Structure 1
Amino acid sequence: DGMANDVNIWEEPENKDTIQTEMENGNLLVVAATLNQLVRKATDEDKYDSNFLETFLATYRSFTTPSMLLEKLKQRYYVPATVPDQKKQVVQMRVCVVMKRWVGTFNDEIEFDLLDKINAWIESESKAGQKILGGIKSAITKKESC
Structure 2
Amino acid sequence: MPNEILIVEDNEYKRTRIKELISTEFPDCKISECYSFTSAWKLISSNKFDLILLDMSIPTFDKTDSDLGGTFRVFGGRELARKIKRRAISTKFVFITQYKSFSDSTSSLSFEGLKDELLLQYEDECLGLILYSNTASDWREELIMHMREL
Coarse TM-score class (shorter-chain normalised): 0.3 to 0.5
User: What is the TM-score with the length of structure 1 in the denominator?
Assistant: 0.35
User: What is the TM-score with the length of structure 2 in the denominator?
Assistant: 0.34
Question: For the pair shown, which has the larger CA radius of gyration, 1 or 2?
Answer: 1
The structure with the largest helix share of the pair is: 1
